[in-house]
Amino acid sequence: VSGIPVIWSAGYACEIGVHVFPVEKYELVHQALLACGAVAPGATLEPGPPSRVLLAGAHTDAYLDDLEGLVWSERTGRSELPLTAGIVGAFSLAGSGTALAAREALRHGAAVHVGGGLHHAYADHAEGFCYVNDLAVGIRALQREGLVKRAAVVDLDVHQGNGTAHIFRDDPDVFTLSVHQERNYPVPKETGDLDVGLENGTGDQDYLDAIGPALERVWAHQPQIVLYQAGADPFERDQLGGLSLTFRGLAARDREVLRGCRARGIPVVTTLGGGYAMDTADTVRIHVTTCLETLALG
Ligand SMILES: [Zn+2]
């Protein structure tokens, strides 16, 4: 069993009806980590309910008011999820989860959040399947607490991390890298510190060739923590992605990021991000592999 903490909550489950987003994946990934002995029973850390102050680190008061009141507005209405207390609560809790994981990563060198990576949420509005940008919530919490100044987001989801890029666009202390499929949602894209837009059908080797130099730019920023958005949707059989990575390529991607952090002594938080494989078991398998690669750092 690794000394690296795993963060998850049963509260990530919510009812979203028939939807391409497999919200059950959080529980399935956690179960798989227990089943293979990677995490001991009872060892999982559960985030507490997110405070308003925590969420306000990344989001505007007007938007948080709409979320709390379940008000359908121009701020909440760009979400592609229903606006219910259960859904908003589950994804707000993920903000608390990433903040907890970030604090744990500072103490243990790494942490696994079996959740989060909700990179399309902006400071003042929802987008895609994202109400709360947990990555930004986590970084802002550490900055506010004086635990770190410089941070980086390594976002390897198939979709650009537009919300994250926008939230940190004026913060020179936070470097945002997004490597994504160029011709895919979101359109138009935001400008992060480094955006690498890949051609349709990019496979394992070309992908790995692209992230190597991109990660060098991250290391040059000298972050005191890296938040890794390890989206499973660059997978070749993803319904919302048009890249062609295999299981093996995705695992190599994870190792490149995680071992790169470890080699430089940079604490790293793994978050799950997207994943819409035809077969949800494939998405779960990819996420579990990412979690195991992170736990292997301990
Ligand atoms: Zn995605």
Q: Under a CB-based contact definition with an 8 Å cutoff, are residues 126 and 76 in contact?
A: yes
Closest-CA residue to 236 (of 279, 196, 267): 279
**From first to last of its 298 residues, what are the pLDDT tens digits of the chain?**
789 999 999 999 999 988 999 999 999 999 999 999 999 999 999 999 999 999 999 999 999 999 999 999 999 999 999 999 999 999 999 999 999 999 999 999 999 999 999 999 999 999 999 999 999 999 999 999 999 999 999 999 999 999 999 999 999 999 999 999 999 999 999 999 999 999 999 999 999 999 999 999 999 999 999 999 999 999 999 999 999 999 999 999 999 999 999 999 999 999 999 999 999 999 999 999 999 999 999 9
- Residue 292 has what pLDDT? 98
- Residue 287 has what pLDDT? 98
8-state DSSP, 119: T
- Distance CA(271)–CA(102), nearest Å, equals 10
- Distance CA(108)–CA(111), nearest Å, equals 7
Q: Under a CB-based contact definition with an 8 Å cutoff, are residues 93 and 12 in contact?
A: yes
- Residue 268 has what pLDDT? 98
SS3 115: coil
103 vs 156, 211, 248, 296, CA distance in Å?
22, 26, 30, 19
Handedness of CA 119, 122, 125, 128 (dihedral sign): negative
Which residues sit opposite 181 in a β-bridge? Answer: 198
Neighbouring residues of the ion ligand 1, judged by CB less than 5 Å: 157, 159, 231, 233, 274
Closest-CA residue to 112 (of 32, 210, 217, 227): 227
**How far is the centre of ligand 1, averaged over its atoms, from the C-alpha of 71 (Å)?**
26
**How far is the centre of ligand 1, averaged over its atoms, from the C-alpha of 128 (Å)?**
9
Sheet holding 268-271, edge to edge: 6-7, 110-113, 268-271, 226-229, 151-155, 174-181, 194-198
135 phi and psi angles, rounded to 5 deg: -65, -45
**How far is the centre of ligand 1, averaged over its atoms, from the C-alpha of 118 (Å)?**
9
- Residue 2 has what pLDDT? 84
**How far is the centre of ligand 1, averaged over its atoms, from the C-alpha of 63 (Å)?**
23
**How far is the centre of ligand 1, averaged over its atoms, from the C-alpha of 69 (Å)?**
27
